[in-house]
């Protein structure tokens, strides 16, 4: 670690500290970013990465410490000040305007005064040249997480910053799209730009990053050259001990097992002009197996989940069958009563009510199925019973929290996700449908959730996992199907599946003809 | 024919203060601030406008005073809700109560005094064209201001970069802050603009509609303006339509009462409210457009974490 200001460093951070109440989120952080390097920032959720990055981007003020930009001491007092210095940021969450179009979102971050009408064309051209195609006229509220992230990336690149901070940029891209992004990043590096790259995907950090700084519990625990490390050694630095590898025992005779979730010719018209119609989707999930659904964000996975969970009802009652009974016309509660459980993509606001306690959130999805246990005479909530049950889940899933029964919003993303998945697992559902089980969740928590889903299937349940994380699907699935433009490919047994085959289907190769496409390719 | 023209003219006069106050509030709400103090700002504009006109003898100075009074009064709201992050609903309500009380106190000596009236526009030749002459060229100046204002606000919100920025703040102030947009400054300006509009609307009442000072003379028009903004799903031309439907049914039911139609007068008096709500709900059926136009951060105080 060099202490001299040798001028080669674009950004130097000395002893940066941020204290929230009793929690020291960042504790004397030192960080040097050289010109023209891709620097990885590694750490589990809650390690202080976001707090550090927010201080660099001016949305949080440090309690102590110094920041040097090109050797000059600077105070970054607002995001506007950071932008003026030449720091751009691609956020993981919450920085787009849902009621505006993609082009308008981009226009807002450009200060060059170009008319809004010309920005749509400019954005479309740039997005294609960066390999991240987007429709500038679509409303952000209609877009999936992945498409929103593309807008974020384009928006940041259009500002031509000197330092680009990317927070988990590839978690929603196909492998081929991620490759394109890496090409872009390498091009930016060759132009002398610096990149601070936050990711939990250790393989890609090893692939593109020149140096890495590892945070744990708000402290810097090490600097390293990721190319000289293994994924396992990086994970060890982040977590502090070994991450338990997920174990998936092979299943025998699955072909003869009872299908617990049957989807037959599921078709759905687009709900809004921009959403994806579902086209004749058929799939069986049998007792004892995990089926994964891969696909680039925004290809109908959200619509599919809504249809299966009963948030949207089907005309044809037989298009969704749970444990042999027609469920297409049943509401989400009706489907739960048949033994199904659902975990939606969005944790806060959809999976859990942010301002309610965990025990109260337990009741959200289980008021009907566990009515006798949790609700007493006259509709009175048995607060003792829901508290005890929530504590049981917290213990089973190793949920880390600051109070005995905190509000959902007070938990970190990974811990809340463990609770929400645990809430459904606790019921021992015979059908479990999960959308994005570990989005933005740290390695330790993700391994825990994945193992729990596998164990549920091995105990005789049918598990359907929709995910944009291919590593995850290959880890837990017995077969992988790919969703593209509202159509679902035939499930491919995991023994035959490769990243390349799945990636091609994700990019739009004809469903069910993966082998053929590969031969001609 | 003359009766028709006269009825149309009274409709325009009834609709103008609603339109101006609602357009001002629309800009405020598009920036994500809910100011329930429209009634209070309006009555302050009315008393200020009447007072200045009465004391100087010039209705134009009265009109400027009305605008200034509304803007100044809204500044109080802006300081409370934006700088001190108080609850917008409570602050807005107290602004209305304060305005009603304060205007009564200021206006004690104006009661019963003859006011000055803003003269109608009268372009020789043009305004004597039958029917359209009076409608297009012979109305009071504030009517023209209200139409130009509506068009200008539409253009500003949807065609200019500053308007886009304002809408983005209303959609998500945290995202806007992350982009480096000065959220508080924009909101201050929006609130003061809304106050100025409410003041102008109040001035129209005491300098054009009924050129005199009567306590509580706004008679709930501020609340109607607020409701118009919501039912018009934050779209300027719908606010215009709403204000005129309200004005038309209002004048219509007054005539109906005068003719002695055998319907209870309470029923007739409620008609304008009912008709406006029904029509605006019907034209706002498109959920998607409503979602696009509803300011998602409306009413939430913005306190950047530091």
Q: Which residues of A touch B294 (CB under 8 A)?
A: 99
β-strands A462-466, A290-294: how paired? parallel
Burial class (CB in 10 A: 0-12, 13-18, 19+), A112: exposed
Q: What is the average pLDDT across B176-187? A: 90
Average confidence score pLDDT of chain B: 91
The alpha carbon of residue A180 is apart from the nearest alpha carbon of chain B, in Å, by: 26
Q: Do B167 and A83 touch (CB under 8 A)?
A: no
Q: Do A108 and B168 touch (CB under 8 A)?
A: yes
For the segment B58-97, what is each residue's pLDDT rounded down to a tens digit?
Answer: 999 999 999 999 999 999 999 999 999 999 999 999 999 9
Tokens of B289: 């457009």
For the segment A189-199, what is each residue's pLDDT rounded down to a tens digit?
Answer: 988 899 999 88
- C-alpha count within 13 angstroms, C-beta hemisphere, residue A225: 3
Q: Of A385, A386, A396, nearest to A418 (Cα)?
A: A396
A272 Cβ under 8 Å from any chain B Cβ: yes
Which residues make beta-bridge pairs with A66? A14
Helix (H) or strand (E) holding A303: helix A301-309
A63 Cβ under 8 Å from any chain B Cβ: no
- Helix residue ranges per DSSP H, A338-382: 358-366, 371-374
Q: Do B167 and A61 touch (CB under 8 A)?
A: no
Matching residue, tokens 């811990």: A415
**pLDDT at residue A233, rounded to an integer:** 84
- Is the model more confident about B260 or about A428? A428
A90 Cβ under 8 Å from any chain B Cβ: no
**pLDDT at residue A513, rounded to an integer:** 44
What residues contact A233, with CB distance under 8 A and at least 6 apart? none
What residues contact B32, with CB distance under 8 A and at least 6 apart? B169, B170, B171, B173, B187, B295, B297, B298, B299, B300, B302
Q: Which range among A50-64, B19-33, B190-204 shows the weakest confidence by mean pLDDT?
A: A50-64
A120 Cβ under 8 Å from any chain B Cβ: no
Report the C-alpha gap between A303 and B20 in whole angstroms.
43
Report the C-alpha gap between A379 and A376 in whole angstroms.
6
Q: Do B175 and A60 touch (CB under 8 A)?
A: no
User: Is a pLDDT exceeding 80 seen at residue B101?
Assistant: yes
CATH 1.10.1040.10 fits A9-239, yes or no: no
**pLDDT at residue A404, rounded to an integer:** 85
Q: Of A63, A47, A43, nearest to A55 (Cα)?
A: A63
**pLDDT at residue A274, rounded to an integer:** 56
The alpha carbon of residue B172 is apart from the nearest alpha carbon of chain A, in Å, by: 6
**Cα–chain center distance at B223:** 9
User: How many residues can be counted in chain A?
Assistant: 521
Residue B264: pLDDT band by 50, 70, 90 thresholds? confident
Q: Do A108 and B179 touch (CB under 8 A)?
A: yes
Helix (H) or strand (E) holding A17: strand A9-20
Residue B227: Cβ within 10 Å count? 18
Matching residue, tokens 């799939």: A283
For the segment A290-321, what is each residue's pLDDT rounded down to a tens digit?
Answer: 999 998 777 889 899 999 999 999 999 999 99
**pLDDT at residue B289, rounded to an integer:** 74
Average confidence score pLDDT of chain A: 85
**pLDDT at residue A20, rounded to an integer:** 81
Across the interface, which of B159, B174, B296 has its CB nearest the CB of A99?
B296
- Helix residue ranges per DSSP H, A378-498: 383-397, 413-425, 443-458, 470-476
Q: Which residues of A touch B291 (CB under 8 A)?
A: 99, 141
Tokens of A270: 């687009």
- Is the model more confident about A503 or about A281? A281
| Backbone conformation region of residue A380, classed left if phi is above 0, alpha if psi is from -120 to 50, else beta | beta
Q: Do B164 and A100 touch (CB under 8 A)?
A: yes
For the segment B109-153, what is each residue's pLDDT rounded down to a tens digit?
Answer: 999 998 899 988 877 777 778 777 777 888 899 999 999 999 999
Q: What is the average pLDDT across A422-445? A: 88
The alpha carbon of residue A194 is apart from the nearest alpha carbon of chain B, in Å, by: 20
User: Is a pLDDT exceeding 60 seen at residue A521?
Assistant: no
**pLDDT at residue B126, rounded to an integer:** 77
Q: What is the average pLDDT across A183-207? A: 87
Give DSSP secondary structure letters for A82-147: HHHHTEEEE-SSS-S-TTSBHHHHHHHT--S---HHHHHHHHHHHHHHTT----TTSBGGGS-HHH
Specify the 3-state DSSP secondary structure of A463: strand
Report the C-alpha gap between A53 and A67 in whole angstroms.
12
**pLDDT at residue A95, rounded to an integer:** 78
**pLDDT at residue A272, rounded to an integer:** 64
For the segment A311-360, what is each residue's pLDDT rounded down to a tens digit?
Answer: 999 999 999 999 999 999 999 999 999 999 999 988 888 889 988 999 99
Q: Do B296 and A139 touch (CB under 8 A)?
A: no
Q: What is the average pLDDT across A459-483? A: 92
Sign of CA dihedral B107, B108, B111, B116: negative
Give DSSP secondary structure letters for B247-291: HHHHHHHHHHHHHT-SS-HHHHHHHHHHHHHHHHHHHT--HHHHH
- Which value, in Å, is the radius of gyration of the alpha carbons in chain A? 24
Helix (H) or strand (E) holding A267: strand A259-268
User: Is a pLDDT exceeding 60 seen at residue A164?
Assistant: yes
- CATH-assigned architecture of domain B2-293: Orthogonal Bundle (1.10)
**pLDDT at residue A419, rounded to an integer:** 93
Residue B193: pLDDT band by 50, 70, 90 thresholds? very high
Nearest CA in chain A to B288: A272
What residues contact B92, with CB distance under 8 A and at least 6 apart? B34, B35, B36, B37, B77, B81
Matching residue, tokens 């009465």: B54
User: What is the number of CB-based contacts under 8 A between chain A and chain B?
Assistant: 74
Which residues make beta-bridge pairs with A197? A40, A166
Residue A514: pLDDT band by 50, 70, 90 thresholds? very low
Highest mean pLDDT among A231-245, B170-184, B276-290: B170-184
Q: Of A291, A330, A264, A311, nearest to A432 (Cα)?
A: A291
The alpha carbon of residue A379 is apart from the nearest alpha carbon of chain B, in Å, by: 33
Specify the 3-state DSSP secondary structure of A21: coil
Nearest CA in chain A to B287: A272
User: Is a pLDDT exceeding 80 seen at residue B41?
Assistant: yes
* DSSP code of residue A28: E
Which residues make beta-bridge pairs with A484? A487
A159 Cβ under 8 Å from any chain B Cβ: no
Report the C-alpha gap between A53 and B231 in whole angstroms.
42
Q: Which range among A154-163, A235-244, A415-424, B296-305 shows the weakest confidence by mean pLDDT?
A: A235-244
User: Is a pLDDT exceeding 80 seen at residue A5?
Assistant: no
Q: Which range among A55-69, A101-115, A152-166 shows the weakest confidence by mean pLDDT?
A: A101-115
User: Is a pLDDT exceeding 80 seen at residue B17?
Assistant: yes
**pLDDT at residue A515, rounded to an integer:** 40
**pLDDT at residue A3, rounded to an integer:** 42
Nearest CA in chain B to A273: B288
Sequence spans of domains, chain B: 2-293
Give the fold, CATH level 3, of A257-339+430-521.
Answer: Rossmann fold (3.40.50)
For the segment A209-237, what is each residue's pLDDT rounded down to a tens digit?
Answer: 999 999 988 899 989 998 998 878 888 88
Q: Do A59 and B178 touch (CB under 8 A)?
A: yes
**pLDDT at residue B125, rounded to an integer:** 76
Q: Which range among A209-213, A412-416, A449-453 shows the weakest confidence by mean pLDDT?
A: A412-416
Q: Which residues of A touch B288 (CB under 8 A)?
A: 272-273
- Is the model more confident about B26 or about B3? B26
- Is the model more confident about A119 or about B49? B49
For the segment B198-229, what is each residue's pLDDT rounded down to a tens digit?
Answer: 999 999 999 999 999 999 999 889 999 999 99
Residue B1: pLDDT band by 50, 70, 90 thresholds? low
Q: What is the average pLDDT across B251-260? A: 87
**pLDDT at residue A346, rounded to an integer:** 85
Q: Do B178 and A61 touch (CB under 8 A)?
A: no
**pLDDT at residue A4, rounded to an integer:** 43
The alpha carbon of residue B89 is apart from the nearest alpha carbon of chain A, in Å, by: 21
All CATH 3.40.50.300 domain ranges in chain A, comma separated? 9-239, 257-339+430-521
């Amino acid at each position: 670690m060099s202490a001299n200001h040798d001028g080669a460093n674009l950004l130097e951070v000395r002893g940066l500290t941020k204290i929230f109440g009793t929690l020291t989120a960042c504790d004397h952080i030192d960080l040097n970013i050289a010109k023209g390097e891709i620097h990885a920032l590694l750490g589990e959720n809650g390690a202080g990465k976001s707090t550090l990055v927010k201080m660099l981007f001016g949305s949080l003020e440090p309690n102590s410490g110094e920041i040097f930009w090109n050797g000059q001491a600077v105070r970054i007092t607002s995001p506007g000040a950071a932008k003026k210095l030449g720091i751009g940021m691609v956020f993981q969450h919450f920085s787009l305007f849902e009621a505006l179009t993609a082009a308008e979102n981009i226009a807002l971050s450009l200060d060059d005064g170009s008319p809004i009408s010309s920005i749509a064309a400019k954005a479309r051209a740039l997005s294609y040249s960066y390999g991240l195609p987007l429709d500038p006229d679509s409303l952000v509220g209609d877009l999936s997480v992945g498409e929103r992230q593309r807008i974020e990336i384009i928006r940041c690149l259009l500002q031509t910053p000197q330092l680009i901070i990317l927070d988990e940029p590839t978690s929603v891209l196909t492998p081929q799209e991620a490759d394109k992004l890496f090409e872009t990043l390498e091009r930016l590096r060759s132009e002398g730009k610096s990149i601070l790259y936050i990711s939990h995907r250790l393989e890609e950090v090893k692939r593109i990053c020149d140096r890495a700084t590892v945070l744990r519990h708000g402290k810097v625990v090490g600097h390293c050259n990721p190319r000289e490390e293994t994924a396992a050694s990086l994970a060890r630095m982040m977590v502090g001990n070994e991450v338990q590898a997920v174990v998936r025992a092979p299943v025998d005779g699955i072909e003869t097992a009872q299908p617990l979730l049957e989807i037959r010719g599921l078709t759905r018209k687009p709900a809004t002009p921009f959403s994806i119609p579902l086209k004749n989707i058929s799939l069986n999930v049998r007792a004892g197996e995990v089926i994964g659904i891969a696909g680039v964000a925004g290809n109908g996975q959200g619509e599919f989940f809504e249809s299966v969970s009963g948030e949207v009802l089907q005309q044809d009652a037989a298009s969704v069958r749970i444990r042999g009974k027609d469920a297409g016309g049943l509401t989400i509660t009706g489907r739960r009563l048949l033994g199904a459980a659902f975990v939606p993509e969005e944790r806060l606001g959809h999976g859990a009510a942010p301002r309610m306690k965990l025990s109260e959130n337990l009741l959200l999805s289980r008021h009907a199925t566990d009515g006798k246990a949790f609700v007493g005479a006259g509709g009175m909530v048995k607060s003792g019973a829901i508290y005890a049950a929530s504590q049981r889940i917290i213990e089973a899933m190793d949920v880390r929290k600051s109070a005995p029964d905190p509000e959902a919003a007070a938990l970190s993303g990974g811990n809340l996700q463990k609770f929400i998945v645990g809430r459904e697992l606790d019921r021992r559902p015979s059908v479990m449908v999960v959308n994005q089980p570990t989005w933005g969740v740290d390695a330790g928590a993700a391994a825990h959730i994945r193992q729990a889903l596998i164990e549920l299937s091995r105990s005789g349940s049918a598990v359907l996992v929709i995910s944009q994380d291919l590593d995850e699907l290959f880890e837990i699935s017995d077969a992988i199907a790919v969703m593209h433009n509202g159509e679902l490919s035939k499930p491919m047994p995991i023994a035959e599946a490769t990243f390349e085959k799945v990636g091609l289907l994700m990019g739009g190769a004809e469903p069910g003809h993966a082998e053929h496409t590969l031969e001609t390719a | 024919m003359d009766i028709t023209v006269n009825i149309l003219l009274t409709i325009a006069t009834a609709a103008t203060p609603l339109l101006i106050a609602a357009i001002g509030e629309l800009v405020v709400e598009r920036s994500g601030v809910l100011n329930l103090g429209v009634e209070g700002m309006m009555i302050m504009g009315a008393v200020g406008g009447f007072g200045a006109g009465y004391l100087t003898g010039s209705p134009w100075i009265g009109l400027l005073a009305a605008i200034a009074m509304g803007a100044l009064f809204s500044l109080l709201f802006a300081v409370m809700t934006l700088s001190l992050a108080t609850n917008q609903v409570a602050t807005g309500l107290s602004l209305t109560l304060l305005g009603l009380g304060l205007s009564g106190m200021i206006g004690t000596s104006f009661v019963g005094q003859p006011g000055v009236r803003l003269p109608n526009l009268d372009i020789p030749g043009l305004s004597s064209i039958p029917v359209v002459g009076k409608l297009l060229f012979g109305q009071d100046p504030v009517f023209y201001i209200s139409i130009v204002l509506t068009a200008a606000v539409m253009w500003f919100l949807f065609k200019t970069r500053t308007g886009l920025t304002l809408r983005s703040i209303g959609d998500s102030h945290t995202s806007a802050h992350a982009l480096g947009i000065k959220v508080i400054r924009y909101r201050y300006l929006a609130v003061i603009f809304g106050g100025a509009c409410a003041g102008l609307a109040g001035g129209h009442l005491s300098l054009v509609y009924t050129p005199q000072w009567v306590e509580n003379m706004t008679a709930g028009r501020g609340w109607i303006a607020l409701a118009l903004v919501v039912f018009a799903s934050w779209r300027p031309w719908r606010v215009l339509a709403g204000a005129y439907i309200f004005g038309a049914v209002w004048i219509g039911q007054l005539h109906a009462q005068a003719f002695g139609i055998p319907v209870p007068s309470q029923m007739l008096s409620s008609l304008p409210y009912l008709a406006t709500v029904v029509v605006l709900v019907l034209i706002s059926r498109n959920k998607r457009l409503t979602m696009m136009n509803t300011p998602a951060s409306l009413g939430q105080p913005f306190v950047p974490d530091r």
